[in-house]
Structure 1
């Protein structure tokens, strides 16, 4: 799931509200909104929505002479975002925000994008970079769904997010790579230096175990392996194989020594 702060704008025409006079635009108080028909728009994949009321209700309601109405409100929306984390942490996601009419079918109300599919959704540049993600773009679509009560128009905005790699490079990838390199140093240590090679082997195995546990805390609990899981598994295999290699060399060295003594 994700949370976003939006200025939600809706425009429609109500011929009953046409007026004449010198004023081209009539700005109404928020208290008048309840006395005028407004679309019953709701967010289909929203878990929770909050309308801001500090210091006054954050709403704007204007009527043009031809009966066109502009209704804007500030909302904080918590919505579902299905994620497939197979490529974590090099993954990207398209988080949808779906909205439409709750009660009015397609025969009574139709939603369209006012500025077309390219310019109807605007994201400020300062909001395109988040702590863990970069917003690389957004796309919009509309569809009609059928239900027991009729056909409804559903509008969808997809926010395309790409996860940032910096944290994981510093905390996981670089330490794992350095640990693997350190484990290979034991190959250049004299095979007779058993304590030194033992320290290298056990230390690197314990370090990889600690890094693996730390990495799991950064992951949502999923039932499949991610790219980070495979990376850590391969690193662990290299480190563990270095320890096995030391044990094998030590075993065969002792075996040759015993054979030499028997001769």
Structure 2
């Protein structure tokens, strides 16, 4: 009986434990369901509150009228940033450049003040089309594109005090006046000018959001350009007058310097090698007319290739090549005018003297045959005959004149071998020292980091 009683007691305790556990589980489920319901209700309440705030802001709002119409001037704060300059593609003809920017504008509209649990309303482009926005345009822009993939790239923020932030992504193709006097070591300042199209300075005015060094920013990896180095950027502000009034124009200048490495390989080295190749003919024998002609043709072909840019260096190097081509012609002229007629004269004199000797020998032989018994042998005749027949004296005199003529003509080559390299080297020294030490004519520039 005691055993049965203890068993029954244990059983009762177990049943009570299960009952308590079930009771606690029921309480937890009820609490969690109430919490979920409260969260859902709070979320629904927030959505309803946001909707009510937006509806109240747009209730009676006329986006055709600027803020403070008839009273205060709208002050637009501008901030321009560029993640990359596309990579700021610059074209010489026509003179223009392309830039990809995030264009940020900020202003205050008293009609958009609100009170609520949040301080900022973060909205997209749909709300931007229902409120007043500035009519900013680019004065020197040729073509501007607002990105719309996958949706219009626009952002709108409304603060509780009525301040708005309006951001959009733009690709602008603008004019860039270029001065190519120092090409290819030139520097340029490409402007980006913008302002209001319809509102004068009494209605809308522009200011930079930050100071001059931070109002326009370029990402460090966004200025890796193909043919240019971004030296920095500057900002400014000006007022222009027209028949309809005065307008504020904001200006941002991007200062560029051309990279010279490409042109050293494509232009300077070919021109320098052309001049060196044209001077090789100075070291050839003056009688090697075909070899000098071949060098002249090669120099002419290379010259046509490197004459791509009409700059000072190319013009001077081509003049060196032209003079180098005229130098062999000068040598050939003196060679033809003096050397060849001299050889002809020497051969003619030698032939004439041989004919005279032959005639004298024939006359002497006849006299000996007819009068041999009565004439004594003169020992001096063979010596005279030997002297007459021996052309040694002629050969001794004529090569001397020939050698003198060769020395007078070859002076041109000897002088050219020294004068041309010295002049060309001096020109290169002055040219590179002058151009590489020239500072870009860009004042007030903010260095690029």
Distance 1:246 1:258 in 2: 17
- Give the TM-score normalised by structure 2: 0.54
Q: Give me the CA root mean square deviation.
A: 1.3
Tell me: higher relative CO, structure 1 or 2? Use CA pairs within 8 A at least 6 residues apart: 1
- What is the deviation of 1:259? 4.2
Q: Which residue of 1 aligns with 2:97?
A: 2
- What is the deviation of 1:55? 0.8
Q: How does 1:1-263 map to 2 (within 5 A)?
A: 1-212=96-307, 215-216=308-309, 228-261=310-343, 262=345
Contact 1:128–1:136, Cα closer than 8 Å, also in 2: no
- What is the deviation of 1:21? 2.1
Any stretches of 5+ residues in structure 2 without a counterpart? 1-95, 347-449
- Give the TM-score normalised by structure 1: 0.91
- What is the deviation of 1:202? 2.1
Distance 2:331 2:178 in 1: 47
Larger Rg: 2
- What is the deviation of 1:142? 0.2
Contact 2:237–2:251, Cα closer than 8 Å, also in 1: yes
Contact 2:278–2:296, Cα closer than 8 Å, also in 1: yes
Contact 1:42–1:100, Cα closer than 8 Å, also in 2: yes
Any stretches of 5+ residues in structure 1 without a counterpart? 217-227
1:182-234: per-residue Cα shift (whole Å, max 9, x none)?
A: 1111111121221111111221122102221xx15xxxxxxxxxxx5322111
- What is the deviation of 1:81? 0.8
1:73-95: per-residue Cα shift (whole Å, max 9, x none)?
A: 00011111111111111111101
Structure with bigger strand share is 1
Structure with bigger helix share is 2
- What is the deviation of 1:10? 0.3
Contact 2:176–2:190, Cα closer than 8 Å, also in 1: yes
Distance 1:121 1:210 in 2: 42
Distance 2:341 2:290 in 1: 23
2:212 counterpart SS class: helix
Contact 2:270–2:302, Cα closer than 8 Å, also in 1: no
